[in-house]
Chains A and B, each alone.
Chain A
Amino acid sequence: MNYRDAGLSDGEYNKIKEMLGREPNDLETILTGVMWSEHCSYKSTRRLLAKFPQKGRYLVQGPGENAGVVDCHGGWGMAFKVESHNHPSAVAPYQGAATGVGGIIRDILAMGARPAASMDGLFFGMPGSGRSSALAEGIVEGIAGYGNAVGVPTIGGKTFYDPCFEGNPLVNAFSCGIVRLDRIVSSKTARVGDLAVLLGSKTGRDGIAGASFASRELDEGNRESRGHIQIGDPFEEKLLIECCLDLLESELIVSMQDMGAAGILSSSSEIAHKSGVGIEIVCERIPLREEMEPWEIFLSESQERMLLIVSPDKYEDVRATADHYALECAAAGSITDDGRYRVIRNGVTLADLPVGILGDAPAIDWPAAVPADMDERRAVPRDMKSSDPGGDLLKMIGSPHGSCRRDIWTQYDCQVQLRTAAEPGEPVSALRMPDSDSLVLFAMEAEPWKCRADPRIGAMETMAHSIRVLALAGADVLGMTNCLNFPSPEHPENYYELVQCVEGLAAVCRDMECPVVSGNVSLYNETPRGGIYPTPLVVTAGLVPHYTYFVSGGHAREGDEVYLAGPTSGSLGSSRWQVLCHSKDMRPKGASWMYDAAKEKDFVSKAVLVSRKADIKKSARVVAGGGLAVALAKEVIFSGVGMTIDIADKNPEEVLFSEGGPRALYVIPPASAEKFVSCWKGFPVTRLGTAGGNSLVVKGCFEVSRDDLAAEFFGGGK
């Protein structure tokens, strides 16, 4: 066969020959080709990702395992990771999204954690346009169908709509799990003589070579390539979860690895490589659904399978446990001492590679070039004016970006396992930790418009925003996971944007002492109509030591005082107002708020301080999409009380609609006001007005009734 059909470049093929000291045979070429695909090897981004800081006082396990882990006190850790399932979801929305959920749950399980919650970042074309609505509906149903049945609650997420995602929707599946810190599973612990055991579904022809499929642009040809799509079975996964946790509890397994991209091949070679041993897999011992060629067996992405590493004397007990859960279980191979990756069938060696070769694809540094229109993108349009600020607010609140997404999240079971401590739709998701009063919070953020306008500043704002949301809610930052969704890195301008985004995220993480614990990269998100905007999605985790410290919005009462903590304005560049109300063609224009580390740190420490003061009653939310106006509107809607605000002679567009920067809205009873203000000493805090009545009134600017706001918010977004 031609090595190019295996996705290898001339240079890569020569490198393989050099490493092997001979020509690889066909099977070896295919196996190496898949492991060296972008999806499996991160060859275009590996060096870039090394820029992410991995220091933090809560860090237990950084990148390099199936998921990161942070210390949540009391001997408990939280494993978490986000991963894309963009390409499969574009082709087969229900199954693509469903198996995305299943895959990330197995990553968490592989750490020895009980999967405790999921979230999803969804990026769609505009509702009602083209295929977008059908895709969006299928994707949401897939997440619901799988997540609900597998018994892991979907506690929150993010949705975003822009024409750039038309035909190339993004599905970023996040999952987290609770693990005893002394029970974390590592993929570095396989020992010579251990058995490699396959647990779960039989291997079939579904999803063969999905990894290399995900490493290309989508075109009409591969849209038909449904053979690459995996089919999920949440019932099997539920059994797999319970069985694996049971095996761990009984100390019957040494290690385990989930089978995701490139199935048996990548899971078995990774575990051998990381453990510094060899591995031998015997084809005829693998339970198959149908007759298959060896290359198909090794690349199959059949779902709901785990690879277990088992000491031979424990194997019978492992089998008995698998029987109890009615799961297929087979010792398909063994760990060897010679560092080779060997495929054997009927006594004949079909492939014999150094284990390292599979894990060590040569890195690629693509050339980067500043986009020709970068200055134009960055420039914030001057003198943007609104002729109808109240109307603009209603438009934003009723847009798909601003309106209530309950049509989506009521389809998800958000409560099973009884840990959920914040309603879906809240700015943060919250879980109660076992045997403790603490909460772990997650904030999922992405700002494609801002990253388009200026990738570095946009990424900084994305990351800083996630930390502000956590701090306001009362949390110390634990760590971050991310999914980098970009178009093809082979275009220098795209690669430039990728580099800038990574550097932007990394800089904020370093400043804010937030380790990057895990992550995933999805490149080639483009269709013949064009690429997506740079879309780094982050999920940042935080710890609230006691649930009584948790601060949320929607508790304003008649007579309370309304405060803005932080600068009175951010940037109108690429704000929701600029894109939805000012631009004629929904194009983001102008750089967002210029990140300032000192101000962010100051905000975080003061917001956390406020959260700890039990004697300060508060209702609060971060000023974000739609600016202060939308933050006020949401407080009015959820609190059921109006507000009257005086912005004096300041520029109303700037004050009301600008976004970004460390800014938050607080509503405080008069009795607590003095204490509240003193907490912010040295940081700007402005008294804006009072809560009361049935309307949101901005003096001299507009008045909108609570009923109108609520009608747009709950009825809009279509």
Chain B
Amino acid sequence: MKTAVVVFPGSNCDADVARAIADSDLGPVEMVWHDEGDFKSAGGPDLVVLPGGFAHGDYLRSGALAAKSRIMKAVKSHADGGGLVLGICNGFQVLTEARLLPGALLPNKNLRFICAPCHVRVERSDTPFTKAFKEGQVVQFPIAHHEGLYFLPPDELAALESRGQVVFRYSAPAKFGEPADAGERYSPNGSLNGIAGVINKRGNVLGLMPHPERSTLKNLIRGTDGRVFWQSLGEYFGVWGDK
């Protein structure tokens, strides 16, 4: 499995994602500067990651300028060809600005930056990004953003839900043996329907506000639930062969 991490000038989670992927033994990681025309690795990457940060300072709308970056053409054609694209936090914002994912990420309801651990329920375990989770499983992924309120007009939101495009939803903490409640009242940021992560119709482009890479390395704060996220991708690409 080959991964390309796109580095915008103001990305600041690029190295963290690369470390999390390395720590999960997922194979080589290529760092790609935003004004490159294409990925370098032969045959192209299997997974493209748009990491967190403040791509171009985000003084305009978050991700708006980044969506026009030179590398984004290559990201789009990678996605069009069915390749996997993952946008985390600012990367999710870039994906919505680039129209690779529906919706928009508005300023948090309290108009403040929020950095906190939070619980999300895995709504689907049939995607390449979540296949190692159990459906309905509650995991802790930290968030750190100022614009994370996921918004769509009501009819589009209903359509998104009915197509099962919501992959992660803010939720109550897990209770042993009971399904956890999830939804808007658990949104730390006011996100509609408690939406924390969505996938495109085709099922190959995922964006999420929480940072799985921040709960991957051991012996740091905020847990290791993110390991299962990377494990999903490893299993999908058969990185460790048949078990």
Contact = CB atoms under 8 A, between A and B. Distances in A.
Contacts of B112: 141, 144, 410-411
A256 to B, nearest CB: 20
Given A410-B116, A411-B113, A547 B144 contact: no
Contact of B115 (A145, A233, A415): A415
Given A234-B54, A235-B54, A413-B113, A418 B220 contact: yes
A415 B142 contact: yes
Nearest to B56: A235
Contacts of A413: 113, 115, 144
A505 to B, nearest CB: 31
B58 interface: yes
Nearest to A420: B221
A416 B219 contact: no
A148 interface: yes
A238 interface: yes
Interface stretch (B6-14, B127-135, B157-165): B6-14
A711 interface: no
Contacts, number: 89
A419 B53 contact: no
A417 interface: yes
B115 A149 contact: no
Contact of A547 (B53, B142, B146, B219): B219
B115 A410 contact: yes
Contacts of A412: 113, 115
B9 A416 contact: no
- Among A144, A413, A414, A432, residue most surrounded by chain B Cβ atoms (within 10 Å): A413
B114 A421 contact: no
B12 A151 contact: yes
Nearest to A411: B113
A416 B217 contact: no
Contact of B19 (A149, A414, A418, A421): A418
B213 interface: yes
A149 B9 contact: no
B16 interface: yes
B220 A419 contact: yes
* Interface residue range, chain A: 20 to 34
A417 B16 contact: yes
B57 interface: yes
Interface string A519-554: 000000000000000000000000000010000000
A416 B12 contact: yes
B114 A415 contact: no
A423 B221 contact: yes
Contacts of B9: 235, 238-239, 325-326
A176 interface: no
Interface string A395-421: 000000000000001111111111111
A150 B146 CA distance: 14
B221 A233 contact: no
A238 B10 contact: yes
Interface in B171-190: none
Nearest to B217: A418
Nearest to B213: A418
Nearest to A236: B57
A422 interface: yes
Contacts of A144: 112-113
Contact of B220 (A148, A234, A235, A421): A421
A466 to B, nearest CB: 22
Contacts of B217: 418
A148 B113 CA distance: 9
A418 B16 contact: yes
A149 B16 contact: no
Contacts of A149: 10, 12, 54, 57-58
Nearest to A140: B112
Nearest to B111: A141
B222 interface: yes
Contacts of B56: 235
Nearest to B211: A415
B71 to A, nearest CB: 14
A416 B220 contact: no
Interface string A211-244: 0000000000000000000000111101100000
Interface string B43-65: 00000000011101111000000
Contact of B57 (A234, A325, A419): A234
B214 interface: yes
Contacts of B144: 148, 413, 415-416
A414 B220 CA distance: 11
Contacts of B115: 148, 409-415
B232 to A, nearest CB: 20
Interface in A110-166: 141, 144-145, 148-151
A236 B54 CA distance: 11
Contacts of B222: 415
Contacts of A234: 54, 57
B15 interface: yes
Contacts of A326: 9
- Among A150, A151, A415, residue most surrounded by chain B Cβ atoms (within 10 Å): A415
B240 to A, nearest CB: 23
Contacts of A410: 112, 114-116
A235 B13 contact: no
B142 A432 contact: no
A68 to B, nearest CB: 26
Contacts of B213: 418
A416 to B, nearest CB: 5
A235 B10 contact: yes
A640 to B, nearest CB: 14
Contacts of A141: 112
Given A234-B54, A410-B116, A421 B16 contact: no
Interface string B198-220: 00000000000001011001011
Contacts of B16: 416-418
B57 A235 contact: yes
- Among B10, B57, B114, residue most surrounded by chain A Cβ atoms (within 10 Å): B10
A47 B232 CA distance: 62
Contacts of B52: 416
Nearest to A548: B219
A149 B12 CA distance: 8
B53 A151 contact: yes
- Among A326, A417, A422, residue most surrounded by chain B Cβ atoms (within 10 Å): A417
Nearest to A418: B16
Given A410-B115, A411-B113, A413-B113, A420 B54 contact: no
Interface string A163-200: 00000000000000000000000000000000000000
B173 to A, nearest CB: 14
Contacts of A547: 219
16 contacts: A141-B112, A150-B12, A151-B12, A235-B9, A235-B58, A238-B12, A324-B33, A415-B144, A415-B214, A416-B13, A418-B217, A418-B220, A420-B221, A421-B219, A421-B220, A422-B221
Given A150-B12, A151-B12, 15 more contacts: A144-B113, A148-B146, A234-B57, A235-B9, A235-B56, A238-B9, A239-B10, A410-B114, A411-B115, A414-B115, A417-B15, A417-B16, A418-B19, A420-B221, A422-B221
| A-B CB proximity, top 3 nearest | A151-B12, A235-B57, A149-B54
